[in-house]
Copies of this chain bind each other. A is one copy, B any other.
């Protein structure tokens, strides 16, 4: 792998774990980038070589995880209905994140700044990849139906996330997610939708 790359990954993780510990301890707003950098033994300037913003350190995913969710996407059979694929990918992704979701939720609940902070639920890179994957599945015609399904699936995820009490176990969230996806997908059924073809 090379010393350079491994050091880089190590630094990334050092910064993130340091930051998350501090955030959990004192809240997002009460911790400055300077402190995070100090706790991770890097210069404040270096923090921004790794994360585009203070928020990003909460939402960005470990670079190694990217391979995992790309596999999730790649593994969907080409003839599977789009909605089923999206469901499988989202559930898989949320399982992949696991205990990071509750942590993130705890931080969000305590920090107005974080709560308002775009990032639908988790991951900016994941979302970009998912959008790309989705459009790659829409060979011809207007992309609206596919984009709609994607956004509806994300809406289901949001709903699960929002209605999930912070006390409930993580499994409860996953259950809820599946439930929301099922309900939201009722009409978006696998059929090409008799009225949608050009």
Q: What chain B residues lie within 8 Å of A49 (beta carbons)?
A: none
| A156–B163 touching, CB < 8 Å | no
Whether a CB of chain B sits under 8 angstroms from the CB of A183 is yes
Copies, count: 2
**Is A11 an interface position by the 8 A CB rule?**
no
Candidates B117, B159, B180, B187; contact of A118 at CB < 8 Å: B117
Mostly, the A contact residues are helix
Q: How far is the CB of A145 from chain B (nearest CB, A)?
A: 7
Q: Are B147 and A163 in contact (CB under 8 A)?
A: yes
Tell me how far the C-beta of A142 lies from the nearest C-beta in chain B, rounded to whole angstroms: 7
Q: Are B187 and A144 in contact (CB under 8 A)?
A: no
Contacts of A196 in B (CB 8 A): 183
A155 at interface (Cβ–Cβ under 8 A)?
yes
Measured in the bound complex, the distance between the Cα atoms of B144 and A180 in whole Å is: 8
Question: In the bound complex, what is the Cα–Cα distance between A151 and B120 (angstroms)?
Answer: 12
Give residues of chain A (105-159) contacting chain B, Cβ–Cβ below 8 Å: 116-118, 142-145, 147-148, 151-152, 154-156, 158-159
The residue from B117, B144, B152, B182 contacting A152, defined by CB atoms under 8 A apart: B152
Residues A160-198 near B (CB distance < 8 A): 162-163, 176, 179-180, 182-189, 193, 195-196
Q: How far is the CB of A59 from chain B (nearest CB, A)?
A: 11
Residues of chain B lying within 8 A (CB to CB) of residue A142 = 163
Residue of B nearest to A196 (CB): B183
Chain B residues closer than 8 Å to A116, beta-carbon distance: 118
A148 to B152, CA, bound (A): 10
**A144:B193 contact, CB within 8 angstroms:** no
**18 further interface pairs, Cβ-Cβ under 8 Å (given A147-B162, A152-B156, A186-B187):** A117-B118, A144-B159, A144-B163, A144-B180, A148-B156, A148-B184, A151-B156, A151-B158, A151-B159, A151-B162, A152-B184, A182-B195, A183-B195, A183-B196, A184-B188, A185-B187, A186-B193, A187-B189
